[in-house]
Structure 1
Amino acid sequence: MTYASLKPVSKAFVQRKRLIFVRAAAVLAVLLLLLTKPALAEGSDGHETLEFLGFCLVLACVAGRLWSILYVGGKKNEELVSAGPFSISQNPLYFFSTVGAIGIGLLYGSLVAAAVLGVASFLIFRVTARKEAEYLLGKFGPAYIAYTKATPRFWPNPLLYRDNDELQFSTRALKRTFYDGLYFLAIFPAIELVEYFRHTGLLFPAFITLY
């Protein structure tokens, strides 16, 4: 996709649609958790290593989303934000959310689950990013085109980092993003609980083993 092919629109992308996509992905993740089990046994070195890496990625996701919202909170779709995390990626919030999705798969102890959740998140946010790009192109025109030419669409390039002298942020948006981040962190005890129930026989056996 090139931004020259985008058609400007006058209305911002309806976030409710994005939430529908995200909730559908969450349902699939729950089914994955209940119907499958990781090939690496709980407590094994391989399983513990994946859990540790997954937890690190989830923490990076939460920290990255909070960092991003410091710059865009309260100004999303109203101002063209190009400083901080938005100077190295056009969609840092979506990037860090995808990192979190991969982390959840690793917390589960499965490389396949990490790949599936990561790809699903990437595709969902790609659709959302395109819709938002169409709106921003219509609102900011040449300034937005110049920004997209200078900034990677998704994968961050730290060498492009630049910042503002002053930072004004929305405490309300920061608080909301913090609570959203708790959902990512809550996945870890949920996975541990399911594994415990399955080990004690309180939960039906898994149908599929994931590596």
Structure 2
Amino acid sequence: MTYASLKPVSHAFVQRKRLIFVRVAAVLAVLLLFLTKPALSEGSNGHEMLEFFGFCLVLACVAGRLWSILYVGGKKNEELVSSGPFSMSQNPLYFFSTVGAVGIGLLYGSVLAALALGLASFLIFRVTARKEAAYLLGKFGPAYLAYTKRTPRFWPNPLIYSDGDQMEFSTRALKRTFFDGLYFLAIFPAIELVEYFREAGLLFPAFVTIY
């Protein structure tokens, strides 16, 4: 995505549509659990290792999203936030959400599922980020262009981290982001429950094995 090719727009991207899509995708991912199973069996060393790393990534996702919303909550698309996590990446919320998607795939015990979910999230948020960038370019002009030149679009660069002396945040936005994070955390018990029922013979056999 090159900012020189962007056409400024006067209306902000509707975040609610993205959130609805993400939640629907999460529900579909859980439903797919009933049709597939990981190649690594539950309780094996490989499966437990993937679950551990997956859970760590999901926790990093929730913590990173809460950290990001402390800086941008209540000000998104209204102010040009460039401190804290936004000094390292233009889209830290999307980065941490993608990390969480990869974590969910690993929680399931499948590297392939982790890669697929991570790629799908990256592509979805790439489209969203481009629409937001067009709006911010139209709203803040040269200041936003200067910000994009010094800050990576997606992958954070800790070496350029900077922070302000004062920070105001929205408790409402923080609370909303916390409950959104519960969607990621809720996937873990859902996966464990499905695996338990399958091992106990209470579910029909999976149709597809994924690695």
- TM-score w.r.t. the length of structure 1 is 0.97
State the one-letter code of the partner of 1:19: L
Using the alignment, how far apart are the partners of 1:171 and 1:40 within structure 2?
A: 42
Matched, 1:5 2:5: yes
State the one-letter code of the partner of 2:179: Y
Shift of residue 199, structure 1, vs aligned partner: 1.1
Does the 8 Å CA contact 1:29/1:117 hold for their aligned counterparts? Answer: no
Q: Structure 2 unaligned runs (5+)? A: none
Q: Structure 1 unaligned runs (5+)? A: none
Does the 8 Å CA contact 1:21/1:124 hold for their aligned counterparts? Answer: no
Using the alignment, how far apart are the partners of 2:29 and 2:96 within structure 1?
A: 18
State the one-letter code of the partner of 2:159: L
Does the 8 Å CA contact 2:36/2:210 hold for their aligned counterparts? Answer: yes
CA deviation profile, 1:46-70 (whole Å, cap 9, x unmatched): 0000000000000000000000000
Q: Which residue is equivalent to 1:50? A: 50
Does the 8 Å CA contact 2:102/2:115 hold for their aligned counterparts? Answer: yes
Matched, 1:90 2:95: no
Does the 8 Å CA contact 1:100/1:184 hold for their aligned counterparts? Answer: yes
Identity rate, percent: 86
Q: Which residue is equivalent to 2:167? A: 167
State the one-letter code of the partner of 1:109: G
CA RMSD for the aligned pairs? Answer: 1.0
Matched, 1:176 2:143: no
- SS of the residue corresponding to residue 33 of structure 2 reads helix
Does the 8 Å CA contact 1:72/1:169 hold for their aligned counterparts? Answer: yes
State the one-letter code of the partner of 2:53: L
CA deviation profile, 1:137-157 (whole Å, cap 9, x unmatched): 000000000000110000000
Q: Which residue is equivalent to 1:152? A: 152
CA deviation profile, 1:58-106 (whole Å, cap 9, x unmatched): 0000000000000000000000000000000000000000000000000
CA deviation profile, 1:140-179 (whole Å, cap 9, x unmatched): 0000000001100000000010000011111111111111
Does the 8 Å CA contact 1:9/1:138 hold for their aligned counterparts? Answer: yes
Equivalent residues in 2 for 1:1-211, closer than 5 Å: 1-211=1-211
